[in-house]
A and B are shown apart, each in its own frame.
Chain A
Amino acid sequence: MSTQTPETESETETEAEAETERPSTSAAQEERMAEKRERAERRAADEAADALEIEGETIELKVFRYDPEIEGKQEPRFDSFAVPFEQGMTVLDALIFARDEYDSSLTFRHSCRQAVCGSDAFFINGSQRLGCQTQLSDLDSPVRVEPLPHQDVVKDLVVEMEHFYDQMESVQPFFDPDELPEGELEEQRQSPENRENVKLSTRCIWCGACMSSCNIAAGDNQYLGPAAINAAYRFYMDEREGEQKRRERLEIIEQEHGVWRCQTQFSCTNVCPKDIPLTEHIQELKREAVKSNLKFW
C-alpha cells in the first residue's frame, strides 16, 4: 500500500488541469495512464487513512449470511462487522456501511430509508423491525440482524415475499362501491369520523413484520395473517364500501383460515412499525362476522 504525501496530491491536481488542453494522441494516452496510476495510488492511500480512522466507538454487527449459489456461503453463517458508531445511526446505516466498506456482496432490500417503503424489515436482536427506523443506540451490542423468520431466505437478509403478497391480494384489497356520485367532479362523501375509524388501517406499508411475528401464521401457511386481515378491515369498515362487496369480503375473512385462527397473542401489534392495532382490527372483524351470522338466522 502506497503512502502518498500531500505534496504529490496537489501536483496531480495541477496536472489534471493542464491535461484539459488535450495534447495529441500517444502522449496524451501516456499522460492519462500515468494520471490513472497516480489516482489509484492516491485513493489507496486515502483508503488506508480511512481505515485507520475507525477509532472512536464501534459497534459489532452480526449479520446472517447465505447464498445458495456461492461455495462457502451455502451453509448459513453469521459474519461480524465492526461499524463506527455515531449518535443517530440506524441499523440500516450500519448495514450500508458494512456493505460499502467491507463486503459488497452483503445483500438486503432497502429503498426509502424513511419507514414508508417497507422493504427493510429484518429480525433485529430477536424482534421484527424496520432497519431504517431502528436506532443502534436502542440496541444491545452485538447487534444481530437476521432475515424475517418463517419466510424462505433468498440470500442473506432477503426473504421470499411472494406468499405474503398472495395473502394480501387474496382479500381483494381494493375499493369497490356499489355506485359512484354522478358527475366526474363529484366526490363520494365520507364523514371525518369514518375516515378516523379506518385511518390507522390505511397506514400499512406491507413490510411483512406482523406476518413473520405471528405464531399462527408460522404453523398454518393458509392463515390470511394480520396484514391481509387489516387490509380487509380497511375496506370493510369504510362506509362507502358496496353492500355486495361487504358480503363477499366477510366470506373471505370468515373462511376456515381467516379471522377465527387469531389467538390474540398481540405479537403483530407489538412489532408493527406503523403502530396499527392489528389484533384489535382482527377482533372487530370477528365481531362483524358474528353479527352478520346472527342476521341470517
Chain B
Amino acid sequence: MYEHDVIVVGGGGTGLRAAIAAHEEGADVAIVTKLHPVRSHTGAAEGGINAALQDGDSWEDHAYDTMKGSDYLADAPAIETFTQTAPEETIQLEHWGMPFSREEDGRVSQRPFGGLSFPRTTYAGAETGHHMLHTLYQQVVKRGIEVYDEWYVTRAAVTDEEDPNDRECHGVVAWDVQTGEVAGFRARQGVVLATGGLGQAYDHTTNAVANTGDGVAMAYRAGVPIEDMEMVQFHPTTLPSTGVLISEGVRGEGGILYNSEGERFMFEYGYATNDGELASRDVVARAELTEVNAGRGVDDEYVHLDMRHLGEDRITDRLENILHLAEDFEGVNGLEEPMPVKPGQHYAMGGIEVDEFGETCIDGLHAAGECACVSLHGANRLGGNALPELIVFGALAGRHAAGTDLGEPQIETGYFDGADTEELDVPTGKPDGEPVEPTADGGIAQSPEAVIERAVDTENERIETLLEREDGVNHADVRADVQESMTENVNVFREEEGLKQALRDIREARERYQDVYVADKSRTFNTDLQHTIETRNLLDVAEAITMGALARDEFRGAHWRAEHQERKDDEWLKHTLVSWNDGDPELWYRPVLLEGNEKTYEPKERSY
C-alpha cells in the first residue's frame, strides 16, 4: 500500500494545479494518472483563459456573462468564486513562465470570445492548453511532487455507511499499467479526482481517447450524486473527419461561417443578429446543423469556416496551430481555402457534485475540473472558461484536501430528505444477475487500511474475472454501440423517442457487457483490459446523461428538446442529480442558487 497525505487522481491541468496547491500547504502529495501528465488532454485546449485583467473589465461583468451564458443553470457562489479568483490564478501561471501571447509593451494579450462582453480571453497562440499543461508540469517537477504515471485508478476506497453523506474516503485503488500490479493508495488527508472529460461516450468528439469519464463513474458508484449530466457541450467547429477541434479563437479573431450557398448564415438567417459567429456555442452549433438539415450544408454534412481575410501575418501570429491541424487532419490549407467544420461533443458541463472547495458529500473525496460540477457552466459553458476553471477550482480542491480551513461552503452537497424526485418509464440500471459491487455492503466501520484492502480485493476479483473468461463479447463492440446511439439520439437536437431509444440501447449494452471478456491475457501493459474497464464507466455516464435529458422537458442552453421549445423557469430552475443507489439510478433535483455573496441574478431571456 502506498501512502500520502493527498492523492490526486489525474495529471491534467486540474490535477497538477491541485497537487501544487496541496504541496504549498505542506502536504505530502502524489499524483496518480493513467497517462503521463504531459499526455493529458488539457494539452489539446486551444483558445484561452478568461480573466478580468484589464481596466474597463471587472469580475462582475465576467460573472454576469457566465451566468447568462449558462442560461441560469449555474450556481452564483461558484461563479463569484471563479470570476474573482481567475485573474490572480492566470497571473500566477504567468509568474510560472507560461509563454502567453504578448502586446508590444510586453503585457499579456487578450482577445474576444463567444458570449463575452469584453475581450478577456488571455491566450498563448492557439495552443493555450499545451502551454498551460507544460507550465504546470514544470512546477510539479520543480517541487519534486511524486507522480505515479501510467497507473490507472479504478476505484475510490470509501467506508460503507448506508447513507453516502456519512461515508468517508480513505484512498483509491489503482493498477500499474506496465506490470498489472493492483495496489491501494491511502490518502491520510484527502483525495482529489481530476480525471477530466467523458467525450468517449460519443463517437464524434474533440476529446482524447483517454477521456472515458473514469472519475465521474468512480465517484458515482461510491455514492456521490452526479449533477446536470444532460448538459453536454457540442463545439460548433470541429473537423468533420476526426472531431479535431478548431478553436473558437478563429471566430474570436474574425473568422466567418458560410453555408454551401456562400451565405453568412448567422446573420442572413437570423440565428444571432447581434453577435453573429460570436454567439454562444450552443447557438452556433444549432445554427450550423439547422443549415445542414435545410439542405444548405456542404456535402450534406458541414459548413465552412473562413479565416483567409484575416491575412497571413495575423493567422500565423495567433492561429498558427489551426493551419497545422487543418492541413494534417483535413488536407486543407487554411490560408487558401475555408475549413470544413461541424459540431462535435466537446465538454461535459455536468459531473461530480461538489461544493466550491471541491468537496463531495463523502468526507475527504474531492473533485475539480471537467469531471466535477461545482455548477459553474450551467447549461452552456462559455469558451475560455474551462482553463480558468482548472486552475481556480483545482487550487481550491488541493488546498481543501490538504486540510486547510477555507470556511463554510455555500453550496450544499448530497441527497437530502424531501428532495424532489422523478421516475422514468424506461428501464435503466443494472441488468438482472449483475452483482452489486460492495461499495457499501457491510455496515461495519473499519480502519482506513481495512477499507482500502477491501477495495483492492474487489478490484483484483473484478480483473481476474475479466481475464479468466475464455470468450465472450469484445468491449470495443459494446463501446461502439453506446457511442453510436448517443451520437444518434442524445446530440445537439434531442427528441423524446430518440432519448428513450438511447436508454434501451444502453440497457442492451449493459447486458452485453455482462459477458465481456479480455482476449489479451498478459499483465504487461494490457490496454485491452484497461479499455474494458473504461467501457463500463462510459455505460454509467451515458445512462446518466440520457436520463437527465429525457426528464428535463424544456429547452435550456445546450439542452434542446424537439417537443419543448421554451425555457421553463417556473419548473426547471433546478439541477438534475442522479444517485447510483446500488445500481438502480435515482433522479432527483436541487434548486439553482441564483443568489451569490455579492449579487443576485435575475433570469433574463438570452438573446444574441
Contacts and interface: CB of A to CB of B under 8 A. Distances in A.
Interface in A64-121: 67-70, 73, 88, 99-100, 103-105, 107-119
Contacts of B504: 16-17, 20
A289 interface: no
Given A36-B511, A190-B106, A191-B106, A112 B44 contact: yes
Contact of B97 (A119, A154, A174): A174
A202 interface: yes
A206 B474 CA distance: 33
Closest 10 CB pairs of A and B: A175-B97, A189-B106, A105-B520, A174-B138, A174-B142, A100-B476, A117-B39, A111-B208, A112-B208, A104-B528
A69 B39 contact: no
Given A70-B521, A111-B35, A185-B88, A116 B508 contact: no
B551 to A, nearest CB: 17
A62 interface: no
Given A88-B241, A195-B102, A116 B432 contact: no
A69 B36 contact: no
Given A70-B522, A135-B328, 7 more contacts: A20-B504, A32-B511, A39-B508, A114-B44, A173-B141, A185-B53, A205-B38
Which of B94, B242, B518 has the most chain A CB atoms closer than 10 A to its own CB? B94
A9 interface: no
A164 to B, nearest CB: 10
B527 interface: yes
Interface in B469-509: 474-477, 480, 504, 508
Given A118-B38, A206-B38, A195 B99 contact: yes
Interface string A160-195: 010001000100111111001000111111111001
B426 A20 contact: yes
Contact of B99 (A99, A118, A173, A202): A202
A117 B208 contact: yes
Interface residues of B, number: 74
A169 B106 CA distance: 29
18 contacts: A16-B504, A36-B511, A69-B523, A109-B39, A111-B35, A114-B245, A118-B39, A174-B96, A189-B105, A190-B102, A192-B104, A192-B106, A195-B101, A202-B134, A203-B130, A205-B130, A206-B36, A206-B38
B244 interface: yes
B86 to A, nearest CB: 11
A114 B524 contact: no
A133 interface: yes
Interface string A18-45: 0010100000010010001001000100
A288 interface: no
Contacts of B141: 169, 172-174
Interface string B35-68: 1101111011000000001000000000000000
B524 A154 contact: yes
Interface in B244-264: 244-245
A114 B210 CA distance: 13
The residue in A36, A88, A112, A155 that gathers the most chain B C-beta atoms within 10 A of its C-beta is A112
Contacts of B331: 88, 135
Nearest to A192: B102
B87 interface: yes
Contacts of A249: none
B36 A165 contact: yes
A43 B520 CA distance: 22
B108 to A, nearest CB: 6
A238 interface: yes
A192 B41 contact: no
Contacts of A268: none
A67 B474 contact: no
Contact of A155 (B97, B244, B522): B522
A242 to B, nearest CB: 11
Nearest to B476: A100
B373 to A, nearest CB: 24
A12 to B, nearest CB: 11
A153 to B, nearest CB: 10
A158 interface: yes
B131 A202 contact: yes
A116 B127 CA distance: 9
B419 interface: no
Contacts of B117: none
Contacts of A195: 99-102
B525 interface: yes
Contacts of A261: none
B102 to A, nearest CB: 5
B1 interface: no
Contacts of B329: 88, 114
Interface string B308-351: 00000000000000001100111100000000000000000000
